[in-house]
């Protein structure tokens, strides 16, 4: 299945400036592995040493948070869009 991955600005240096990349994968976990193959260093920014999505990274499949789906085991279909959204913290004191 060909899916589009939307890459946030902080990670674009890994993808040679590309804001969107295509990968062939059947699950989100496999998509992350494919991203790592194509762009070494990508995976460690998304998942921790236990293989879980990092606390301050949000992954949305077609605008739905994967935490409310099957997490990294969420199945993909052709044409899906996976958005990587880093959490932003801070505020006014």
CB-based contact 87:11 (threshold 8 Å): no
Tens digit of each residue's pLDDT (9 = 90 or more) over 16-62: 999 999 999 999 999 999 999 999 999 999 999 999 999 899 999 99
CATH of the domain at 72: 3.10.20.30
Residue 92 domain flag: no
Residue 18 domain flag: yes
Work out how many domains the chain is built from and give that number: 1
> pTM (2 decimals)?
0.89
Residue 27 domain flag: yes
Tokens found for residue 70: 């099957």
Pairwise CA distance, residues 4 & 80, whole Å = 6
Which domain does 68 fall in, by range? 2-86
Residue 93 domain flag: no
pLDDT value for 87: 82
Instruction: Determine how β-strand 81-86 pairs with β-strand 57-61.
Output: antiparallel
Instruction: Determine how β-strand 64-65 pairs with β-strand 57-61.
Output: antiparallel
Q: Which of 38, 12, 20, 36 is nearest to 80 (CA)?
A: 20
């Amino acid at each position: 299945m060909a899916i589009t991955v939307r890459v946030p600005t902080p990670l674009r240096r890994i993808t040679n400036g590309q804001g969107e990349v295509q990968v062939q994968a059947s699950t989100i976990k496999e998509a992350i592995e494919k991203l790592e193959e194509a762009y070494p260093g990508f995976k460690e920014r998304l998942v921790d040493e236990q293989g879980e999505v990092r606390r301050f990274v949000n992954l949305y499949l077609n605008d739905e948070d994967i935490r409310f789906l099957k997490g990294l085991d969420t199945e993909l279909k052709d044409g899906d869009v996976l958005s990587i959204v880093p959490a932003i913290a801070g505020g006014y004191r």
